[in-house]
Amino acid sequence: MLTTRFAPSPTGPLHLGHAYSAVQAHRVARENDGRFLLRIEDLDQTRSRAEFVDGIVEDLRWLGLDWDGDPVVQSTRTDAYRAALDRLRDMGLVYACFCSRGDIAAALSAPHARPDHYPGTCRALPDNPERRARDPHSWRLNAGKALARVPPPAWTDNDRTLHASADDFDDEILARKDAPAAYHLACVVDDAASGVNLVVRGMDLRASTPVQRLLQILLGLPEPAYFHHRLVLTDDGRRLAKRDRAPTLAALRDTGVDGPALAEDLRTGLVPSGFRLAVA
Ligand code: GLU
């Protein structure tokens, strides 16, 4: 059965961009007699707040969206993420990273460093359990080693087959210093556990797909199809971001906007005046 999900992080109130994403995933599921799931991605405990979880539920109900089953809450699923990380560790594909943000920034300022890529400082360190017991560390995927093990990841996005290239990969953090899993690992473990076979999400997350496909292949998880939808931008081309005080759904509700009517517009690709949908 076709299964999609909406997977917000409860780190702020939902805005119009989230509504568009939720409506699209819901639409595809309902048009195909499929399932639409809700997943709360609350692994970042420093930024996630219970009041934002309540707000997500309230906003989706206001839009008239129903979801199947109870929401999956990532903070309750840490054992599953640990098991996946253990598997990758047993395969020799992860390493402990002791770098601080400052260390990484300093290494990246060196000539020939690839901007936005982990400089590899800890990649070749021998495993040191005493140091690990003492010092905070994250776990990183050894992307080069992983890619040497498996066929190059491919996937379909909106029915087009895409192939990853080496540049699409970095030694991503799979478990953070302060949390048992980070986004990519938790996402693939949960998508598989929930039977999500169509990932509907915004184009801003397209760059996450190669590493997520790689993790699925390494962990023997099923391959979902992808549909990265257009993003809601302001008329002058700015992305909606929580920090830019984009109009929240709660604010629209308070000014008397009709939730189901808004959802119906978003379903057909109509956005309120002052906004537009764009390929980004
Ligand atoms: N939690 C992510 C976000 O709010 C979405 C992740 C996903 O859809 O894969 O941006």
Distance of alpha carbon 7 from alpha carbon 18, whole angstroms: 10
Q: Kindly tell me if the per-residue pLDDT of 246 is higher than 90.
A: no
Residue 173, both tokens: 């953090």
Q: Find the mean pLDDT for residues 4-25.
A: 97
pTM score above 0.85: yes
pLDDT score recorded for residue 243: 59
Confidence band for 241, pLDDT divided at 50, 70 and 90: confident
Q: Which one is predicted more confidently, 259 or 103?
A: 259
Q: Which one is predicted more confidently, 242 or 100?
A: 100
pLDDT score recorded for residue 63: 98
pLDDT score recorded for residue 254: 94
Positive or negative, the CA dihedral 90, 177, 189, 77 is positive
Query: 14: CA distance to ligand 1 center in Å?
Result: 12
Q: Kindly tell me if the per-residue pLDDT of 244 is higher than 70.
A: no
Q: Whose CA is nearest to atom 10 of ligand 1?
A: 8
* Ligand 1 atom nearest to CA at 208: 9
Give 159-218 pLDDT, tens digit per residue: 999 999 989 999 999 999 988 899 999 999 999 999 999 999 999 999 999 999 999 999
Give 87-135 pLDDT, tens digit per residue: 999 999 999 999 999 889 888 888 777 888 999 999 999 999 999 999 9
Query: 204: CA distance to ligand 1 center in Å?
Result: 9
Which of the listed residues 59, 201, 204 should we mutate to test ligand 1's pocket, taking the one with most ligand atoms within 8 A of CB?
201
pLDDT score recorded for residue 223: 98
Query: 21: CA distance to ligand 1 center in Å?
Result: 10
Give 226-236 pLDDT, tens digit per residue: 999 999 999 88
Q: Whose CA is nearest to atom 3 of ligand 1?
A: 8
Query: 112: CA distance to ligand 1 center in Å?
Result: 32
pLDDT score recorded for residue 178: 86
CA dihedral 241, 244, 245, 246 (to 10 degrees): -50
Q: What are the distances in angstroms from CA 257 to CA 16, 51, 67? A: 12, 22, 22
- Ligand 1 neighbours, Cβ below 6 Å, are 7-9, 41, 187, 201, 205
Which of the listed residues 199, 205, 231 should we mutate to test ligand 1's pocket, taking the one with most ligand atoms within 8 A of CB?
205
* Ligand 1 atom nearest to CA at 8: 4
Domains and CATH numbers, the chain: 3-76+230-278 (3.40.50.620)
Q: Kindly tell me if the per-residue pLDDT of 20 is higher than 90.
A: yes
Q: What are the distances in angstroms from CA 204 to CA 106, 216, 233, 275? A: 27, 20, 12, 17
* Ligand 1 atom nearest to CA at 204: 10
Which of the listed residues 28, 72, 187 should we mutate to test ligand 1's pocket, taking the one with most ligand atoms within 8 A of CB?
187
Query: 83: CA distance to ligand 1 center in Å?
Result: 22
pLDDT score recorded for residue 245: 62
Give 39-70 pLDDT, tens digit per residue: 999 999 999 999 999 999 999 999 999 999 99
Q: What are the distances in angstroms from CA 184 to CA 24, 84, 163? A: 22, 12, 18
CA angle 190, 163, 174 (to 5 degrees): 35
Q: Whose CA is nearest to atom 6 of ligand 1?
A: 7
**CA Rg, the chain, in Å?**
20
